[in-house]
Structure 1
Amino acid sequence: MKFLRQTYESFRFAWEALRSNMLRTMLSLLGVTIGIFAIIAVFTLVDSLERNVRDSLSFIGDKVVYVQKWPWSFGGGEYQWWKYFQRPEPTYKEYRFLSTKLENAKAIVAMDFKGRVTVKNGNNSMASLIQGTTFEYNIISDVPIDQGRYFTQQEMDVGRNVAIIGSDVADNLFPGQEPVGKSLKINSLNFVVIGVQHKKGESIINVGGNPDIKCMIPYGAFSKMFHSLNPSIDIAIKGYDTDEGLLELESEIRGLMRTRRGLRPLQDDNFAINRPEAAAQAISGIFIVLTLAGWVIGGFSILIGGFGIANIMFVSVKERTNIIGIQKSLGAKNYVILFQFLFEAILLSLVGGLAGIFLVYLLSFMSLGSLELQLTAANITLGLGVSSVIGILAGIIPAFSASRLDPVIAIRAK
């Protein structure tokens, strides 16, 4: 009860002090407000970017490796394209070889893409991304079906003319209609729609193509239409959760591919084993730099704000020296006086922090294209925590000096 009363009194003293010097208070809060705004804005931006990127990468699968001709590069030195140019493309026969030999694979898929292909339904048409794939693609990657179903094994085996279309394809080719069960034309061939994917929306990174404009068809049907001249594919292989780092799977793939292509022990690999995690790690490095920049920019502003709060507190101690003497002469303990001024400094800093967080909240309503900013509870807590620490650091010395005043000298102060 006594603690609650002291807390209330401290809050009342702090509020009266801030309200009586509103202009001085606002100028001192400006540094903390800008600092918290800079830090939380950067954290919010980084979190939103990271979430957007991870959502994009979810469509190419988790614990998946890709066997391809070209290695993925993320700025790690010179890209030796002239060396990779000589490599042979992965083939469907190599996919069949791996699918029968691999022991550490949960699923394996052959797939290929053809962009800017016109798909039609009556007078409606649009440019679509055609993806040919084998049966286990829904194990490798996320294929959220809103309407209809996924392919059957028989449809894949015989290369039947069936398709799973994206939401934009459904809206453009079948406006106001139920697409499932209806036909569309791809390269003048009729394909029956068996499913419609859930709308993904815009994204910063569309790895493997935007599913909203995609038409997925069995690889056999795709190969008949597009592989007469260039029968190359990508091979995607999903590992088991027990294979930490997919080391066993990668080692097995490398050994089998080298055997299949007849490479001697001293010869370099003439294929690439790519991991989506490499893209995530490269992007995470950029996020770390952005976060550090936010801390540096915000740190300078907060430092200035902290000095401003400390200055206010020293002035406040000077102005209320007489009151402090009266309080101490009436029996107030040193810790009560210390708590009053420390509470005032924390409150002052928290008000500045809340103002900065509110500005970030307003920023989250801005339209940034495919990037949706979300102010999370974790970032709000971080902002309030940093504000509290700044208040404590800025107010501890003035509060301590106030608590150590001699009551007789303090009462006589003008």
Structure 2
Amino acid sequence: MLFFKLTFEALRFAWQALRSNLLRTVLSLLGVTIGIFSIIGVYTMVDSLESNIKTSLSSIGDKTIYVDKFPWQFGDGEYPWWKYFNRPRPKYSEYKYLKDNLENASAVTIMDWSATQVKYQSNSYNALVQGITYDFNLISDVPVIDGRYFSPTEIESGRNVVIIGAEIAETLFGEENPIGKQMKIKGENFVVIGMQEKKGKQLVDVGGNPDQKVYVPFVKHKRMFSSGNLYGMIQVQAFESDLKMEKLESEIKGKMRTIRGLRPLEEDNFALNRPDAAASFLTTIFGSIRAGGFVIGLFSLLIGGFGIANIMFVSVKERTNIIGIQKSLGAKNYFILFQFLFEAIFLCLIGGLFGLILVYFASFIDLGSLDIVLSSSNIIFGLTISSIIGIVAGLIPASQASKMDPVIAIRAK
């Protein structure tokens, strides 16, 4: 009961202070409002950006390893591309070997890309044509909403069948149902057997936007674009139980060295790339941005804290007589301490709430494909920081008030 009584008294005194000194209070709270807006605004923007990019990364496969000639590099440092340029690209035969022999892989596929113009009657579209194998949809999401996915026979024989993205379907076929229709790729007729669900434009489309893609059997793709040379990029997915993919990575490395006949002391002539490494690197970058935003916002919060502390000193001075009367009637020191401390916290929470409201309204600003979302964790963080500033700003004035001599306080003018 005492806690609720103290809280109610603090709220009542704080409300009276707000009403009697509205302009002074607003100006003092402005620092806290700007500080919370700066910190939570940066956190919200970074969280939204990170979520968007990681969603794009997940579209190229979760818990996967890519086998290619070029390693992915993140961070500073010179990239020795000339060292990797003459490496052989992964071959279809190597893909088949890994698919048949890897024990720690849940799925294996090989793919390649080519940009070209696709046509239907008088309509055309510059699309990304991607050659894939049957297990591709086990690693990357291929949400076919109309028609069907490839059959194993169509993939192995390289038949002229395609699955198209939603944007391509809209551009080439308009209101027509594309399923069963024939479209042209490099002068050849292909039957549309499936259409993907529309994904929409992302901030970062890793591997290309599926809405703008045409999927064809890998073997057919190589016949059209690489004169039948069956090379591409191999993608391998780990089992869920292989948390860090250490077993799979080690096994792939051993199998690739075996099939390429590398001696024990010879350097690998292939690269094993992991999307989770990119995600970890991005987490580090975004963490640094968050830290920078926090430091910038902290200066505003400190200014706001000084403003709140100034209000509390003035409030203690104005209510010295009341403090003396309360203590003469038996009020304990902690009652006076909590009374002013709660008031400081309450004032800072008001400033923090205004800052959060500004961030909320800012989240409605149209930034194209970037959706800004004010998360509950950021709201809680903002209110927590506001409360801490209130405690720090109000502790000394509240302590001074609690230690006043009641006789001297009553006599004060």
Whether TM-score is above 0.5 comes out as yes
Tell me the secondary structure at the aligned position of residue 371 of structure 1: coil
> Which shifted more, 342-351 or 321-330?
321-330
Tell me the secondary structure at the aligned position of residue 215 of structure 1: strand
Matches within 5 A, 1:168-187: 168-187=167-186
| Seq. identity, % | 60
Distance 1:146 1:21 in 2: 62
Counterpart amino acid of 1:327? Q
Match of 1:130 in 2: 129
> Which shifted more, 83-92 or 71-80?
71-80
| Shift, 1:10, TM fit | 2.1
Match of 1:243 in 2: 242
Q: Please say if residues 58 and 142 of structure 1, whose CA atoms lie closer than 8 Å, have aligned partners that are also in contact.
A: no
| Shift, 1:245, TM fit | 1.6
Counterpart amino acid of 1:123? S
Structure 1: runs of 5+ lacking an equivalent: none
Q: Please say if residues 222 and 229 of structure 2, whose CA atoms lie closer than 8 Å, have aligned partners that are also in contact.
A: no
Match of 1:163 in 2: 162
Distance 2:75 2:396 in 1: 49
Tell me the secondary structure at the aligned position of residue 244 of structure 2: helix
Does residue 1:223 correspond to 2:229, yes or no?
no
Q: Please say if residues 219 and 230 of structure 2, whose CA atoms lie closer than 8 Å, have aligned partners that are also in contact.
A: no
| Shift, 1:6, TM fit | 4.0
Distance 1:20 1:9 in 2: 16
Tell me the secondary structure at the aligned position of residue 227 of structure 2: coil
Matches within 5 A, 1:391-402: 391-402=390-401
Instruction: Provide TM-score, normalisation by structure 1.
Output: 0.96
| Shift, 1:279, TM fit | 1.1
Q: Please say if residues 95 and 109 of structure 1, whose CA atoms lie closer than 8 Å, have aligned partners that are also in contact.
A: yes
Counterpart amino acid of 1:379? N
Counterpart amino acid of 2:402? S
- 1:221-249 alpha-carbon deviations (Å, 9 max, x no partner): 21221120754201101111222321221
Distance 2:118 2:410 in 1: 89
Distance 1:93 1:345 in 2: 72
| Shift, 1:295, TM fit | 1.2
Distance 1:334 1:356 in 2: 33
Match of 1:193 in 2: 192
Q: What is the root-mean-square deviation of aligned Cα atoms in Å? A: 1.6
Tell me the secondary structure at the aligned position of residue 405 of structure 1: coil
Match of 1:98 in 2: 98
Name the CA shift for 1:394/1:217 in 2 (closer, same or farther; >3 Å).
same
Does residue 1:14 correspond to 2:14, yes or no?
yes
Instruction: Provide TM-score, normalisation by structure 2.
Output: 0.96
Match of 1:37 in 2: 37
Q: Please say if residues 66 and 236 of structure 2, whose CA atoms lie closer than 8 Å, have aligned partners that are also in contact.
A: yes
Tell me the secondary structure at the aligned position of residue 221 of structure 1: helix
Counterpart amino acid of 1:29? L
Tell me the secondary structure at the aligned position of residue 70 of structure 1: coil
| Shift, 1:333, TM fit | 2.9
Counterpart amino acid of 2:28? S
Q: Please say if residues 67 and 271 of structure 2, whose CA atoms lie closer than 8 Å, have aligned partners that are also in contact.
A: yes
Does residue 1:58 correspond to 2:58, yes or no?
yes
Match of 1:296 in 2: 295
Q: Please say if residues 59 and 143 of structure 1, whose CA atoms lie closer than 8 Å, have aligned partners that are also in contact.
A: no
- 1:58-84 alpha-carbon deviations (Å, 9 max, x no partner): 111111111101111113532111110
Name the CA shift for 1:241/1:401 in 2 (closer, same or farther; >3 Å).
same
- 1:163-217 alpha-carbon deviations (Å, 9 max, x no partner): 1111111111121232223222211222222222222222232221111100111
Tell me the secondary structure at the aligned position of residue 244 of structure 1: coil
| Shift, 1:2, TM fit | 5.5
- 1:343-398 alpha-carbon deviations (Å, 9 max, x no partner): 11011101110111111112111122221111011111110111011111111221
| Shift, 1:147, TM fit | 2.4
- 1:31-76 alpha-carbon deviations (Å, 9 max, x no partner): 1111111110111011101110111011111111111011111135
Q: Please say if residues 14 and 340 of structure 1, whose CA atoms lie closer than 8 Å, have aligned partners that are also in contact.
A: no
- 1:93-119 alpha-carbon deviations (Å, 9 max, x no partner): 11112222222111110111001x111
> Which shifted more, 222-231 or 42-51?
222-231
Distance 1:160 1:177 in 2: 24
- 1:267-287 alpha-carbon deviations (Å, 9 max, x no partner): 111111111111111211210
| Shift, 1:8, TM fit | 2.4
Match of 1:139 in 2: 138
Structure 2: runs of 5+ lacking an equivalent: none
Counterpart amino acid of 2:151? T
Distance 1:392 1:147 in 2: 60
| Shift, 1:5, TM fit | 4.1
Counterpart amino acid of 1:232? Y
Tell me the secondary structure at the aligned position of residue 176 of structure 2: coil
